[in-house]
Amino acid sequence: MAAAKRVLSSPLGVKQGRPLLYEVIVDNKLELTVDPKRPVRGNSAFETDLCIFEKRKDIEIPRVVLEFKNKVTPHDVLIYSAKARRHKQVYPYLRYGFVASEELYVPRRFFMHNDALDFFAALKTKGRNELDRFFARLIQTEIKTSRRMESVTFGGTKPSIFRSEVLLDRFITDSTRR
């Protein structure tokens, strides 16, 4: 959380343990059954480990969710991928991923079982100085991508290409040279 706070400035902020909606239902009177501005865990909302928000007037828009694990099991990938998919039904611009402190690399099981997580950071070999730089770059990149997704979804941006990429360790070194 400290690394996130160091790279964020207003209107961006970070919150720990914040619930996000996974569904918005209208009842038989066509009224919302939840307050979309104040999600409550257990009432159509799942709690997240760490969430970066963008403040706009009286609302906070979730941009990036980071879920922290030591090691990641196939069960974790399946569950959190489903959780990410549900959150993205409400917040289609949301970026969602794992940060695994005891993984040397992104495990094959992640590629086999994932269908909605946007990133996975394996941190076991990263030193303290490298971690700060890594998180700064990851957070900035994911916020930028979230804003692009929002623009496509709600702003009328019409992209001519979409692509996904698997980044190797060059993520930090190549992107910081530009």
Q: Give the model's pLDDT for residue 131.
A: 87
115-150 b/e with 16+ CB inside 10 Å = b?
Answer: eebbbbbbbeebeeeeeebbbbbbbebbbebbbebb
pLDDT tens digits, one per residue of 33-46: 999 889 999 999 99
Neighbours of 26 (CB within 10 A): 10
pLDDT in tens, 97-139: 999 999 999 999 999 999 999 999 999 988 888 888 888 889 9
- R_g (Cα) of the chain, nearest Å: 17
pLDDT bin (cut points 50, 70, 90) of residue 89 is very high
Q: What is the number of structural domains in the chain? A: 1
| Residue range(s) defining the domain that contains residue 7 | 2-157+165-177
Taking CA atoms, 20 is separated from 17, 46, 89, in Å, by 10, 6, 11
